């Protein structure tokens, strides 16, 4: 009897111990152990050695599990899910579940603290900024005729170097320009971390670019004038048409412009095969097609000058105009009237209709052709009738120029007739 009682007690104790052991699988320590092991197994599946080492050195923290949840014993191995490695956030919720003999699950907060992969210091700010700027400018500096001589970058004066910086980033710190393009002067570089920690830090810098040809307002005007003057001399007919031309650029930029490469010029509104320039208002396009492209239109006036005749001294009525009487002055072609004299052949040999004071402009209306026939000159009267040409000697009764009508006397009949002077000593009579 006594032996049977002892055996019953021992069997009861074994049963109780078996239940306790099964229950222990679902206790706080067992759950933590299962989650931790699941994370370690996941880390081993990472593809790169660097990533595996980083996560193997990570600190894994699990929140305490409330044992008062009265979870039922789990005969099978606990299942852990919902953990992402590489982690995209610091805090995750691991799902722990049991499927036998009863089904249950719970979520365990997990914190994965990775060792810092990248750190930000005042010294590294400059180094990183130089790397970013170099990635933009070095390709530009390698092209032919680049306009960049050198450059340098420093922290802006308004940046407090004693300010607190983010300590670290679990991933590599990224940086980008706030502006679309680099420019000489103030720029802003934005540093950011998108690892388990997330932060953004804009830092102001001062970028100094030394240009081979700084595009100051005066330089822009100088380059534009050089281009236009060369264009007029080589690609237009203006140089052969007028004695001189001048250019007047109306407006220029108020401040310097940045062009990292060579600039190009093109007449606005002109095709590639159109080499015409009009007098008056035109427009010139200055084109920068380098790293930071831009285009500028400069309006300008094209003024042409031509020489016109002036009286070098007083010209008396009827006086024959000679080269010594004429002097030439350049005037704006816009002020030249059709009556003004622009060629010596228009004036030499003509007679003044009236007195022309010295220094006055000479006009065609002031002059008349030279007398080709004078009163008393012997002339030949020519007449044509019925296809027969007749020549009769005559005498001019008045002065006249070629093309003018004068009275002449027929020496054979002594009659006075009218005729048109055809040339020296020649008068044509219409019968």
Three-state SS at 68: helix
Domain 216-368 has CATH 3.20.20.150: no
pLDDT of residue 85: 77
Confidence band for 10, pLDDT divided at 50, 70 and 90: very low
Mean pLDDT, the chain, whole residue set: 81
CB 152 within 8 A of CB 163: no
Confidence band for 20, pLDDT divided at 50, 70 and 90: very low
pLDDT of residue 401: 84
CATH class held by domain 371-428: mainly beta
Percent share of the chain, pLDDT over 90? 14
pLDDT tens-digit profile of 188-218?
999 888 766 778 888 899 998 888 877 888 8
Q: Where in the chain is the domain with CATH 3.90.1210.10?
A: 216-368
Q: What is the mean pLDDT of residues 325-335?
A: 91
Q: What is the mean pLDDT of residues 399-417?
A: 89
Three-state SS at 428: strand
The lowest-confidence range among 277-286, 357-366, 408-417 is 277-286
Q: How far apart are CA 353 and CA 126, in angstroms?
A: 87
Please report which helix (H) or strand (E) contains residue 22, including its range: helix 2-24
Decide which of 404 and 30 is more confident.
404
Q: How far apart are CA 100 and CA 26, in angstroms?
A: 12
Residue 257 is given by DSSP the state B
Q: What is the mean pLDDT of residues 370-399?
A: 87
CA-CA-CA-CA torsion sign (111, 112, 114, 118): negative
CB 372 within 8 A of CB 422: no
Q: Where in the chain is the domain with CATH 2.30.30.760?
A: 371-428
Q: How far apart are CA 337 and CA 341, in angstroms?
A: 9
């Amino acid at each position: 009897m006594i032996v049977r009682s002892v055996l019953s007690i021992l069997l009861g104790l074994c049963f109780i111990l078996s239940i306790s052991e099964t229950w222990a699988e679902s206790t706080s320590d067992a759950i933590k152990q299962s989650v931790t092991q699941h994370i370690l197994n996941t880390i081993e599946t990472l593809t790169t050695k660097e990533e595996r080492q980083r996560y193997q050195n990570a600190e894994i923290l699990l929140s305490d599990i409330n044992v008062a949840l009265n979870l039922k014993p789990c005969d099978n191995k606990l299942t852990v899910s919902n953990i992402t490695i590489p982690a995209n956030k610091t805090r995750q919720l691991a799902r722990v579940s049991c499927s036998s003999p009863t089904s249950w699950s719970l979520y365990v907060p997990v914190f994965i603290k990775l060792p810092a992969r990248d750190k930000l210091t005042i010294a590294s700010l400059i180094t990183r900024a130089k790397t970013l700027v170099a990635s933009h400018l070095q390709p530009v500096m390698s092209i032919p005729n680049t306009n960049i001589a050198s450059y340098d970058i420093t922290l802006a004066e308004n940046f407090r170097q004693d300010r607190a910086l983010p300590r670290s980033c679990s991933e590599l710190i990224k940086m980008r320009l706030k502006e679309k393009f680099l420019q000489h002067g103030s720029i802003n570089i934005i540093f950011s971390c998108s690892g388990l920690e997330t932060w953004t830090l804009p830092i102001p810098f001062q970028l100094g670019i030394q240009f081979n040809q700084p595009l100051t307002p005066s330089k822009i005007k100088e380059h534009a004038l050089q281009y236009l003057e060369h264009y007029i001399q080589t690609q237009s007919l203006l140089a052969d048409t007028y004695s001189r031309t001048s250019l007047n650029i109306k407006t220029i930029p108020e401040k310097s412009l940045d062009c990292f490469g060579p600039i190009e010029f093109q007449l606005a509104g002109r095709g590639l095969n159109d080499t015409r320039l009009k007098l008056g208002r035109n427009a010139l396009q200055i084109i920068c097609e380098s790293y930071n492209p831009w285009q500028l239109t400069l309006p300008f006036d094209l003024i042409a000058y031509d020489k016109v005749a002036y009286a070098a001294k007083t010209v008396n009525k009827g006086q024959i105009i000679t080269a010594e009487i004429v002097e030439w002055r350049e005037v704006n072609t816009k002020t030249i009237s059709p009556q003004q004299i622009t060629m010596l052949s228009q004036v030499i040999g003509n007679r003044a209709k009236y007195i022309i004071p010295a220094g006055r402009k000479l006009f065609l209306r002031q002059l008349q052709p030279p007398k080709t026939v004078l009163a008393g000159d012997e002339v030949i009267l020519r007449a044509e009738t019925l296809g027969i040409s007749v020549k009769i000697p005559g005498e001019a009764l008045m002065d006249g120029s070629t093309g003018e009508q004068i009275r002449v006397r027929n020496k054979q009949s002594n009659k006075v007739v009218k005729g048109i002077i055809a040339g020296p000593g020649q008068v044509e009579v219409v019968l």
